[in-house]
Copies of this chain bind each other. A is one copy, B any other.
Amino acid sequence: MSLNSFGHLFRVTTWGESHGPALGATVDGCPPGVAIDEAMIQHWLDRRKPGQNKYTTQRREADEVRILSGTFEGVTTGTPIQLMIENTDQRSKDYGDIKDKFRPGHADITYFQKYGVRDYRGGGRSSARETASRVAAGGLAREAIRAIAPDIRITGYMVQMGQHKIDRDAFDWDQIEQNPFWVPDAKAAKEWADYLDGLRKSGSSVGAVIEVVARGVPAGLGAPVYGKLDTDLAAAMMSINAVKGVEIGEGMSAAMLTGELNADEIFMGPNGPEYSSNHAGGILGGISTGQDVVLRFAVKPTSSILTTRRTITKSGENTEIITKGRHDPCVGIRAVPVGEAMMACVILDHMLLHRGQVGENRGVIG
């Protein structure tokens, strides 16, 4: 039982801190024979990389991944794959002035209360930098999925920033890669740019909601009753830094519906069962229906802001703090590739699990 691991058969253990020599992911259980190289993983890492535009932290990290094990002649061998990213822009001097203060909204105080150690260098293990390891592992998972089930596509995007929500009627898949916020709505992207620019200049921050969709997932994935597909997705997303809520399909709004409104009626289509709607988010009883798997998660506003706030020191004295580091006004932006990566890992894991438990998708309708 590693508490820094997730996944059942596709098992990812991340390691490393914000300002240590390196961080990475030890990935066990990747199927053999998957074509993989460092460039393929780098592609995904580059999407999360800081300092790419003015809306994300100006920390400059190359985030270059190295594959240290588990491949031979360009394919996976079935043995553990070590993905390492060296920390190059550590600048630990930046953090010296908050050495003895706990930053409100950060895990500084709870890590100290738990472990008795204060790693003041940028949050240590609790830094969002840990998510680089997840994105690397997710890149590998995507390639393994592509090899096994090429129809599956996993896409994340932002649907809400602060009070601003996208217009669902203007939803456009092609817009997602066209703006720095991964917003599927051209008009929103433009408006949000102005809004965020204001926040950045004032040293404030704001929360966001990310939606991640997996299309082409076959029916039958998920392992009731505690390894359900939605259970594992909820855990995967809630484990991401700053996430405070997770929804599947209708999500929290399901509470407002009646049984009639929430019903996804079933009928036969040309290729099997189809549904009149997808309130369920593609999952019934923890098992995929074959519809799109749809989830959302809420990311709280970055806690590091330029407004003075009250806090205490390690020795228990009341004091104040301003966090001047290089931070993201909306950390939700960089959470998009992280959410995608976690979705990819969970989907692959359940594909392998299904094979191990059942062998093949056996229940054929019609």
Output the least CB separation between A39 and chain B (Å).
16
Interface string of A50-82 (1 = CB under 8 A from B): 000000000000000010111010011111111
| Complex partner residue of A265 from B245, B260, B287, B311, CB under 8 angstroms | B311
- Alpha-carbon distance A252/B77, docked complex (angstroms): 32
| Complex partner residue of A362 from B32, B109, B261, B353, CB under 8 angstroms | B32
Asked if A285 meets B33 with Cβ closer than 8 Å, knowing A266-B102, A298-B252, A310-B265, the reply is no
Are A250 and B110 in contact, with the CB atoms below 8 A? no
Q: Does A152 contact B (CB under 8 A)?
A: no
- Copy number in this complex? 4
Asked if A113 meets B365 with Cβ closer than 8 Å, knowing A260-B305, A262-B300, A353-B356, the reply is yes
Are B204 and A258 in contact, with the CB atoms below 8 A? yes
Output the least CB separation between A201 and chain B (Å).
14
- Alpha-carbon distance A358/B223, docked complex (angstroms): 19
Are A107 and B68 in contact, with the CB atoms below 8 A? no
Asked if A207 meets B299 with Cβ closer than 8 Å, knowing A4-B224, A72-B117, A238-B234, the reply is no
Nearest to A354 among chain B residues (CB) is B114
Segment at the interface with B among A167-175, A176-184, A186-194, A276-284: A276-284
- Alpha-carbon distance A81/B163, docked complex (angstroms): 41
Q: What residues on B are CB-neighbors of A118 within 8 Å?
A: 363
Q: Does A216 contact B (CB under 8 A)?
A: no
Are A264 and B116 in contact, with the CB atoms below 8 A? no
Q: What 19 new A-B contacts, CB under 8 Å, besides A5-B28, A126-B225, A234-B237?
A: A4-B28, A6-B226, A22-B69, A23-B69, A79-B125, A105-B262, A106-B285, A107-B286, A109-B219, A111-B363, A116-B364, A148-B359, A206-B259, A239-B286, A245-B252, A247-B298, A252-B252, A255-B299, A352-B356
Closest 3 CB pairs of A and B: A107-B285, A316-B366, A356-B356
Are A223 and B3 in contact, with the CB atoms below 8 A? yes
- Alpha-carbon distance A272/B113, docked complex (angstroms): 11
Q: Does A355 contact B (CB under 8 A)?
A: yes
A-B contact pairs, 18 of them (CB 8 A): A72-B117, A72-B119, A102-B266, A109-B266, A109-B365, A115-B362, A118-B363, A204-B260, A207-B254, A228-B239, A231-B238, A234-B237, A235-B235, A250-B300, A257-B300, A260-B307, A268-B317, A276-B310
Asked if A357 meets B257 with Cβ closer than 8 Å, knowing A15-B80, A264-B104, the reply is no
Q: Does A336 contact B (CB under 8 A)?
A: no
- Alpha-carbon distance A21/B70, docked complex (angstroms): 10
- Alpha-carbon distance A289/B108, docked complex (angstroms): 11
Asked if A111 meets B287 with Cβ closer than 8 Å, knowing A72-B124, A245-B251, the reply is yes
Q: Does A112 contact B (CB under 8 A)?
A: yes
